Structure 1
Amino acid sequence: MRRRAFLAAAAGATLLPGAARAAEYPDRPIRLLVPFSAGGAPDVAARIMARQVSIQLGQGVVIENRTGANGIIASEMVAKARPDGYNLLYTTGSHAINPSLYRRLPYDTEADFTPISLLLVAPAYILVVNNELPVRSVADLVARARAGQVTFGSPGVGNSIHMAAEGINQLAGVSMVHVPFRGATQALEAVVTGQVDCMFLNPLAALPVINEGRVRAIAVSSRERFDKLPELPTVAEGGVPGYEMEGGWNALYGPPALPAAIVTRLVEEFRTATRVPEVRAQLEEQGNRVVASDPEVLAAKVGSEVRKFAALTRAAGIEPQ
């Protein structure tokens, strides 16, 4: 009798190895790859949540900054990792833009990852101009672009800040000239000094320089006004009807074929972390809206944005590399 019970238990363990591993997960530290530099907005948000999730799990969630190639290096590492939940990707909207920028990616943006959660959405980008520019509204900016040359900065070709300005070009029928920089800090300094006329910024970077009077804010990119700057009109209100652009998003992915039990555990842990009052306050202070969605929401969003940015980059005449 004891032998039959032992054999039955052994058979069950053989049939369900994934379930057994998931039940024990995690039994060692988790590596969370962030494709951007330490200290940037995605890195700061990732560290805020990772700290709390580490406490909840009793295991470290270790941030590893793997920069380069607009997020492709870190993404490839996760796409090719073992599906055991110990290598995860914390990425941004660039994940959905890259298929339009590169002819050959070393992975399929949708098929080669397991979506876990859309964690944060920044409601808006803020459109700022050089203080010496005689522009007080989006309508002024569009009129100036029609009369002559207007330049806008961004932290590189094809990122969401670049695409936010290209959206004005497309809808307003103007040709503001893109000037890419190595990063948002360099692009912002170029606006401050007058090397370029304007740019979009995320709220974390924009609010301090606006409050210091180093640049002038003229609009927000979202459909609704931004609660931290309620006096600012939207781009649509300011002179480009139909314009709307979120200020980017942060999401969590795993390798392909990540077991459902591990996905569910990670969704629950990150959702719980974002409900801790001090964690939520820190994330919202960055200008984020906390979402902490189910996997299906992330999958649908990325699919939609891959198509949207493909159309936008074609309209902007951006040739894939």
Structure 2
Amino acid sequence: MIARRALLAGMAAAGLAPAFALTASAQAPAWPDRPVRLVVPYAAGGPTDAVARILAERLSNALPQRVVVENRAGGGALPGTENIARAPKDGSALLFTTVVHAVHRALHGSRLTFDPGADFAPVALIGVVPQVIMVPPESPVRDMPGLLQFLRSGQHAYGSSGAGGSSHLGVELLKGMTGVRAEHIPYRGTAPAVADLLAGRVALVMDSVATGAAQVRGGALRGIATTGARRSSALPDLPTVAETVPGFEATTWNAVLAPAGTPAPVVSAISAAIWSALADEGVQARLAGLGVEVPPPEERNPEMAGRFIAAETAKWERLVQDAGIRVE
């Protein structure tokens, strides 16, 4: 009850009438009086699912409605995404997605059954998540200059979580910016790619710090650099790739989207509810532990989320085209 009162007060201070509390006489429609589905287009237990469940838990404590995470994994995140594109436009169903949303159009083209831009309304960018480049402990590579030299010295391969995923796109960006060569070996997820990294079958893997940081800190793998614009709080002793390759940045991210056509007051109310729910310092610490870097307060609104996703889409679509990336 205290959380809900704080939420309502925060939204009132921001000049936003909470859509879920509007009366029938109000101009804007209310949120539905049934559980809200938060669709994650990945399997349960992964880093994206973990962040979504933190959000759902906090929102369920603050709102009259319960927020339920619904995992619709597989198919390159397409089935879960399509489900929300076709969902009611009333705030009862939301998509919790990642950087993969920015490359759907470039990877699948006319095969898509939805438009990643036109069929969705940005609600909130929860945060960006840097990745970490990892090599086996016995690798001769110990830093970024050494990695670039190593990749130029012969034929080497890298593993990824699959074609078009953040771990694939990040290495391809590095190749494009530096001219190094490395063969791409796609896997069905990061775990089997890391298993082959440990076995010496691939030379490197780029993985989200949400899962890779523990392996680096524990000594199972050697961290070379993180991929954000600044050093990651999860691995503060590692330099960024950009300290060697200026301008390099290859992060994944978590964003909440609604079906296009959802009334603007509802979208604004959902956004305000999300940021009120995530304001707790304990929640911020949990997100930081997963490598999530939340945007500054002035960027916590639907407009800024939309701008961010548009910029990411332009960036990664260009890379997909230049690198000739294809999916089967």
**What is the TM-score normalised by the length of structure 1?**
0.89
CA 38–320 in structure 1, closer or farther in 2 if over 3 Å, else same: closer
Which residue does the alignment assign to 1:244?
A: 249
1:33-83 Cα offsets, whole Å, 9 max, x none, are 110110111111111111110111122101110012221111111111121
Q: CA deviation at 1:19?
A: 5.3
The 10-residue stretch of structure 1 (201-210 or 47-56) with the greater mean CA deviation from structure 2: 201-210
Which structure is larger by alpha-carbon Rg, 1 or 2? 1
* 5+ residue gaps, structure 2: 1-22
Deviations 1:116-174, CA, capped at 9 Å, x for gaps = 1111212x211111122211112222112212112111100011111111111111111
Aligned to 1:222: 228
Alpha-carbon distance in 2 for matches of 1:138, 1:308: 23
Assess, with a 3 A threshold, how the Cα gap between structure 1 residues 275 and 168 changes in structure 2: closer, same or farther. Answer: same
Paired residues for 1:18-97 under 5 Å: 22-23=29-30, 25-97=31-103
CA distance in 2, matches of 1:289, 1:230: 13
- Equivalent-residue separation in structure 2 for 1:310 and 1:320 (angstroms): 14
- Work out whether residues 81 and 255 of structure 1, in 8 Å CA contact, stay in contact via their aligned partners in 2: yes
Instruction: Report SS of the residue matched to 1:102.
Output: helix
The aligned counterpart of 1:268 is 272
Give the alignment's Cα RMSD to 1 decimal.
Answer: 1.9
In structure 1, what residue type is equivalent to 2:220?
R
**1:82 & 1:132 partners in 2: Cα distance?**
53
Aligned match for 1:259, one of 247, 252, 263: 263
TM-score normalised over the length of structure 2: 0.87
Q: Which amino acid aligns with 2:302?
A: P
The 1:115–1:41 alpha-carbon spacing in structure 2 relative to 1, beyond 3 Å, is: same
Aligned positions of 1:32-181 closer than 5 A? 32-104=38-110, 105-122=112-129, 124-181=130-187
Q: Which amino acid aligns with 1:65?
A: N
**SS of corresponding position for 1:63:** strand
Instruction: Say which of 290, 301, 308 aligns to 1:294.
Output: 301
Please tell me whether residue 213 in structure 1 is matched to residue 219 in structure 2: yes
Whether the 8 Å contact between 2:32 and 2:90 is mirrored in structure 1 is no
Q: Give the Cα–Cα distance (whole angstroms) in 1 for the partners of residues 315 and 25 of structure 2.
A: 37
Residue 135 to residue 159, structure 1, CA distance change in 2 (3 Å): same
Is the 1:93–1:249 Cα contact (8 Å) retained in structure 2?
A: yes
1:57 partner letter? L
Cα distance in structure 2, aligned partners of 1:207 and 1:200? 11
- Paired residues, number: 302
Identity over the aligned pairs, expressed in percent?
Answer: 36
Partner residue, 1:5? none
Alpha-carbon separation, structure 1, partners of 2:259 and 2:230: 35
